[in-house]
């Protein structure tokens, strides 16, 4: 049995931007910050922040860019993918692991103003969008604009 599933809830690190690949596919690359806290041996609370690279394709990317803001809490569910590229400065091969989002739910905004504005056809407390694009189309390396 094989399972490749990643689920995170965190805050968006920068204003989302939509890009278009050479083949006309839309994509958003963003970072989501999550926090892990624990008590050390002296009982003092410690906290560490992790930054997760997230790639969002198609209609899900369009919704993400339209409704999500920097600092907003989001739930991301997807799969892990590792890709390689040649470093611009030395030509060395580099690797990056990203979460390719398949589902997304919006949470509270950074200023605590509640949920993000919802599309007119949504009626529940959070917007859940499912991307079928990632499952139906093969994503080629030359389509990745970054």
pLDDT tens for 68-112 read: 999 999 999 999 999 998 888 888 999 999 999 999 999 988 776
Per-residue pLDDT, 141: 54
pLDDT confidence of residue 117: 46
The pLDDT, as a whole number, for residue 91 is: 83
In a domain? residue 28: yes
Please give the Cα distance from 46 to 53 (Å, whole number). 23
Contact 62, 17 (CB under 8 A): no
Residue 60: which domain range? Answer: 6-38+46-143
- Residue 138 pLDDT grade (very low, low, confident, very high; cuts 50, 70, 90): low
Domain membership of residue 131 (yes or no) is yes
Write out the two tokens for 34.
């999550």
Number of domains in the chain: 1
Rounded CA-CA distance 3/65 in Å is 29
Mean pLDDT of 32-55: 96
CB atoms within 10 A of CB 89: 6
Determine, yes or no, domain membership for 99.
yes
Q: Write the pLDDT tens digit of every residue in 80-89.
A: 999 998 888 8
SS3 (DSSP) at 66: helix
Distance CA 124, CA 115 (A): 11
User: For residue 45, what are its two tokens?
Assistant: 């609370």
Q: Is residue 1 part of a domain?
A: no
User: β-strand 45-57 against 19-20: which pairing, if any?
Assistant: unpaired
In a domain, 62, yes or no: yes
Q: Is the pLDDT of residue 126 over 70?
A: no
């Amino acid at each position: 049995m094989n399972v490749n599933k990643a689920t995170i809830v965190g805050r968006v690190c920068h204003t989302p931007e939509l890009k278009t690949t050479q083949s006309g596919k839309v994509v958003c690359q963003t970072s989501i910050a999550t926090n892990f806290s624990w008590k050390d041996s002296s009982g003092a609370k410690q906290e560490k922040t992790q930054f997760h690279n997230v790639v969002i394709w198609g209609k899900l990317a369009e919704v993400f860019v339209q409704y999500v803001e920097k600092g907003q809490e989001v739930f991301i569910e997807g799969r892990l993918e590792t890709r390689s590229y040649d470093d611009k400065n030395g030509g060395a091969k580099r690797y990056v692991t990203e979460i390719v989002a398949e589902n997304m739910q919006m949470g509270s905004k950074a200023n605590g103003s509640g949920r993000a504005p919802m599309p007119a056809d949504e009626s529940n407390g959070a917007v859940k969008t499912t991307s079928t694009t990632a499952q139906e189309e093969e994503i080629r390396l030359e389509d990745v604009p970054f």
